[in-house]
């Protein structure tokens, strides 16, 4: 636990430095939108694959009675039927159902139900240096930092703009500062290192969250449960039905993956400022039209990023693959323009000499 705490604090320190120095803002300005969309698509598909392989595939058809493939199929069918009913409280209804199933499972096993147990904070000293004078926490942080920066900061900002275009979008600096503060505070008292995942935002949006009030309410509920019941919640959470949880994770993954559809229509980099209105003084915005070749290039860059994430299960690999693909297209475009300019100069030379 001490090593995990130290790794979280290393990540928090790195994100804090990038936020204060403006490196995060610079990263947003240089990372092309197709790569960001590829990270979002890859994260969404990773959630879907994870839900299938880890939660749903191991289930049996009948046993156990309250957590099997039949319940997963039922939850999936209700999800499909109610997808055009935004006011239907799908997440709340199935959460209550899952809690009831978990309580029944606890009562029929050797586990115990949650009881009143006020949480008592205890200090955990991070292990920045290992017993052999190495730094395993630092290496863990280096491996986690690309995922935190790409999926939990850059992709979250872009996803917020896609899902809630009418609301102010938090800056990458503010999100980075939030991640740093969380990992510098709670980890001293046993909290796991945390970040703002794009999958979590997609899940909250898919199941009805549309404002900060919903997240504040969710946080307060979790805080009260933790303070009042403490570690006695563990047995109940262990028996939470994987059939229902798997379908909810799948729905969140689908919501996150869907943002890829706006790559060539509605993406932030496709909007340009038009001439200002002489009466109101407002600057209008027009959508830039793309040719077939540019559409295919953007689509390929996004899929290359996604392919790297899924093939290697590593956001950094996908990011590098997408950036290399993007630079290859830009390099080819630069060479073509250079060759055309040379041809034009070659045609005009005889006219100038005469």
**SS3 sequence of 313-340:** CCHHHHHHHHHHHHHHHHHHHHHHHHHH
Please tell me the total count of domains within the chain.
Answer: 1
Instruction: Decide which of 142 and 35 is more confident.
Output: 35
Token pair, residue 96, equals 């209550």
The predicted-structure confidence for 177-193, as pLDDT tens digits, reads as follows 999 999 988 889 888 88
Mean pLDDT of the chain: 87
Look at residue 320 and tell me if it is in a domain: yes
Q: Is 286 left (phi over 0), alpha (psi -120 to 50) or beta?
A: beta
pLDDT above 60 (res 274) = no
pLDDT above 90 (res 130) = no
- The secondary structure of residue 276, as a DSSP letter, is E
Which band of pLDDT confidence, cut at 50, 70 and 90, is reported for residue 341?
A: confident
Q: How many percent of the chain have pLDDT more than 90?
A: 47
Rounded-to-5 percentages of helix, strand, coil across the chain? 70, 5, 25
The predicted-structure confidence for 29-56, as pLDDT tens digits, reads as follows 899 999 999 999 999 999 999 999 999 9
The predicted-structure confidence for 235-253, as pLDDT tens digits, reads as follows 999 999 999 999 999 999 9
Look at residue 223 and tell me if it is in a domain: yes
pLDDT (average), residues 9-29:
92
Look at residue 58 and tell me if it is in a domain: yes
Look at residue 225 and tell me if it is in a domain: yes
Instruction: Decide which of 254 and 348 is more confident.
Output: 254
Look at residue 347 and tell me if it is in a domain: no
Look at residue 102 and tell me if it is in a domain: yes
The predicted-structure confidence for 278-319, as pLDDT tens digits, reads as follows 455 555 568 788 889 999 999 999 999 999 999 999 999 999
Q: For 283, phi and psi rounded to 5 degrees? A: -95, 120
pLDDT above 80 (res 118) = yes
Which band of pLDDT confidence, cut at 50, 70 and 90, is reported for residue 352?
A: very low
pLDDT above 80 (res 351) = no
List of residues 6+ apart from 210 with CB closer than 8 A: 164
Look at residue 191 and tell me if it is in a domain: yes
Task: Domain of residue 241: give its range.
Answer: 1-267+291-336
pLDDT above 50 (res 354) = no
Look at residue 352 and tell me if it is in a domain: no
Q: How many percent of the chain have pLDDT more than 70?
A: 92
């Amino acid at each position: 636990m001490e090593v995990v705490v130290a790794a979280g604090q290393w990540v928090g320190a790195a994100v804090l430095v990038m936020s204060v120095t403006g490196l995060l803002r610079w990263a947003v300005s240089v990372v092309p939108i197709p790569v960001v969309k590829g990270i979002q698509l890859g994260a969404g598909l990773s959630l879907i694959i994870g839900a299938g392989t880890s939660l749903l595939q191991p289930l049996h058809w009948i046993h156990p009675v309250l957590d099997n493939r039949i319940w997963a199929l039922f939850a999936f069918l209700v999800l499909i039927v109610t997808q055009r009913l935004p006011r239907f409280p799908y997440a709340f209804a199935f959460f209550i159902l899952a809690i009831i199933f978990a309580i029944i499972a606890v009562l029929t096993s050797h586990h115990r139900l949650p009881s009143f147990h006020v949480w008592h904070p205890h200090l955990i000293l991070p292990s920045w240096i290992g017993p052999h004078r190495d730094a395993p926490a630092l290496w863990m942080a280096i491996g986690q930092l690309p995922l935190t920066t790409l999926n939990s900061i850059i992709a979250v900002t872009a996803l917020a703009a896609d899902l809630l275009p009418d609301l102010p979008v938090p800056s990458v600096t503010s999100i980075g500062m939030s991640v740093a503060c969380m990992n510098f505070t709670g980890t001293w008292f046993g909290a796991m290192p945390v970040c703002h995942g794009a999958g979590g935002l997609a899940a909250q949006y898919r199941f009805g969250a549309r404002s900060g009030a919903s997240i504040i309410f969710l946080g307060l509920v979790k805080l009260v449960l933790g303070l009042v019941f403490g570690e006695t919640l563990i047995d109940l959470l262990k028996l939470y039905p994987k059939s229902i949880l798997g379908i909810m994770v799948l729905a969140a993954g689908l919501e996150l993956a869907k943002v890829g559809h706006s790559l060539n229509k509605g993406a932030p980099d496709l909007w340009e400022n038009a001439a200002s209105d002489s009466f109101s003084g407002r600057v209008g915005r027009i959508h830039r039209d793309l040719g077939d070749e540019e559409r295919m290039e953007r689509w390929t860059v996004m899929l290359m990023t996604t392919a790297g994430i899924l093939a290697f299960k590593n956001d950094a690999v996908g990011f590098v693959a997408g950036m290399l693909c993007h630079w290859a297209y830009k390099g080819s475009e630069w060479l073509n323009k250079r060759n055309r300019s040379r041809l034009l100069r070659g045609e005009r030379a005889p006219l100038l000499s005469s």
